[in-house]
A and B are shown apart, each in its own frame.
Chain A
């Protein structure tokens, strides 16, 4: 194939043949126009300031602001996370640590075969890029708008699964509990379970 590649032609280009793009530059302004800069700063002093007095005044974030992560649940309370580690692999900052484990009928945290047994996000590393969200196959991982994540120690900034899990809402049951009767994980995936069933109340 290499003989199809044309050899580069050496072509001398003289400076005079080169086409210039002219840019207008007027040189220094006269003293008066230079002085106008002083007026700009002076007038700005009396303008409304842009500062937000943060701890007292909290402005809402943009709607899709990348804040703290959240691990979501299905509407009956089972966790969405299947422990696949795709988020951890997607993370450019290596901020996520996941350990999956197998579900059993006695101990079921999520529909299907596996669940995330250990789930940690290190907020000292996370750059809030959202790549983990894109990687997650079950929408288990999403981001909230919460941004007040500062803390005193390094250890406190490694969030465990408990810190990240979404709270139980009405109709949800705290796992582990069995799946909705006569359903498979596909039904869950298609979002067909709208609430928990009385037969799922094994612990409560």
Chain B
């Protein structure tokens, strides 16, 4: 039976129980992931990380939450009060909502009912997640705008630009998955990956999704919306106490949410890795949840790893990367995937498929060659001679030390 059939007969109370379970899981996972991130990043920097509160510092995030709750709740005088209060609420609720369509497990028995750990299975499940994610941006944008102060405004603007551009790339990367699975329902996409994970089949899509999900969640190296060095705290500069805690929660729930979506769409969801299929029957089917969360945690680790390794990107580079690289590449890739799919669905001969694939490879090589050429040409053109300015300029010192990257020739301009 598919998940959709399994959960179709759920009575109301079971749905309520499952909703509660999912919510509790999310909150727990968030607390654990905050702790996990701090410990991991600390390790990457040869530190210990929080290890005081509870065994191994496990309840550190809980202690932090309590501390935040007891802090004074400030609302700046220049703030737009209503929006200021609503913004974090939007942020938090939307990121929880995307969990509704994520299938956490296969067939399991809960309180004597045969069901699956998935709240609801709508035919356009993935689109629903995407739309919810875009509403979540409102939280950040409105927070930035309503704070009535400069840094939050800049952070909010950055964030909206960022999320809009990366959402396009993200949506496009998912199109290939839709084409291959022939469905937009999360559980059906999982089922379609019984044989091969889409991370393997649609590797470019997976890479694009992985990059854009980091951009989408405002995480390092794409955390321009809250860049501490430039914008103090970005959109949440003016927030304190519980409202700040909500943003914090939202960020981490968001990370888990995009990781869960990535797991569902590219890593075979709750299914065991190839060759370990027998484990799925363990614990009456509940073991599939272990696989699911193992994959989610793997993604989370990558998030932390990125943060521990890469410096923050410059804003213009970041936008350039999104618009000039990710989106065109996604578009081209979709065309290729669609063509291949049509070829195989119409029973085209193998030779035709191979010919098409080789043509694509040749084309890519050609484009790459052109790019390299243009780059070299640009590198080798010297700067044009500039005439003396007419206004007074300060005298040059006798010996100038300069880093001359562009030409590689000795002071000859």
Residues of A within 8 A of B (CB): 11, 13, 15-16, 18-23, 25, 27, 37-38, 40-42, 44-45, 47-51, 53
Contact = CB atoms under 8 A, between A and B. Distances in A.
Given A13-B396, A21-B399, A23-B404, A49 B47 contact: yes
B165 to A, nearest CB: 23
Contacts of B46: 44, 47-51
Nearest to A40: B309
A44 B403 contact: no
Pairs of residues from A and B, 9 with the lowest C-beta to C-beta distance, nearest first: A20-B411, A51-B48, A45-B43, A41-B44, A21-B401, A41-B309, A41-B308, A25-B405, A23-B403
B413 interface: yes
Contacts of A20: 400-402, 404, 410-411
A25 B403 contact: yes
A37 B399 contact: no
Chain B interface size, under 10 / 10 to 19 / 20 to 34 / 35 or more:
20 to 34
Given A20-B400, A22-B404, A51 B47 contact: yes
Contacts of B44: 41-42, 44-45
B388 to A, nearest CB: 9
B413 A15 contact: yes
Interface of B (DSSP majority class): loop
A13 B411 contact: no
A23 B410 CA distance: 10
Contacts of B404: 20, 22-23, 25
Contacts of B411: 16, 18-20, 22
Contacts of B305: 38, 41-42
Interface of B: 40, 42-48, 51, 305, 308-310, 395-396, 398-405, 410-413
Nearest to A45: B43
Contacts, number: 71
Contacts of A48: 46
A13 B309 contact: no
B398 A22 contact: no
Nearest to B44: A41
A13 B410 contact: no
Nearest to A55: B52
A49 B403 contact: no
A42 B308 CA distance: 9
Contact of B399 (A18, A45, A51): A18
Among A15, A25, A41, A44, max chain B CB count under 10 A is at A41
B235 to A, nearest CB: 28
B309 A27 contact: no
25 contacts: A13-B396, A13-B398, A16-B411, A18-B396, A18-B400, A19-B398, A19-B400, A20-B400, A20-B401, A20-B404, A21-B400, A23-B402, A23-B403, A25-B403, A25-B404, A40-B309, A41-B44, A42-B44, A45-B40, A45-B44, A47-B46, A48-B46, A49-B43, A49-B46, A51-B46
Nearest to A51: B48
A19 B46 CA distance: 44
A44 B396 contact: no
Contact of A53 (B48, B309, B395): B48
B214 to A, nearest CB: 14
Given A19-B400, A37-B310, 8 more contacts: A11-B395, A15-B413, A18-B399, A18-B411, A21-B402, A22-B411, A25-B403, A45-B44
Contacts of A21: 399-402
Nearest to A12: B395
B40 A19 contact: no
Contacts of A38: 305, 309
A51 B22 CA distance: 37
Contacts of B403: 23, 25
Contacts of A25: 403-405
A94 to B, nearest CB: 32
A38 B310 CA distance: 8
Contacts of A49: 42-43, 46-48
Contacts of A16: 411-413
A51 B44 CA distance: 13
A51 B47 CA distance: 5
Contacts of A13: 395-396, 398
B45 A44 contact: yes
Nearest to B399: A19
A16 B411 CA distance: 7
A11 B395 CA distance: 9
Given A23-B401, A27-B405, A15 B396 contact: yes
Nearest to B306: A38
Given A15-B396, A38-B309, A49-B48, A22 B410 contact: yes
A91 to B, nearest CB: 35
A42 B46 CA distance: 11
A116 B302 CA distance: 64
A16 B388 CA distance: 12
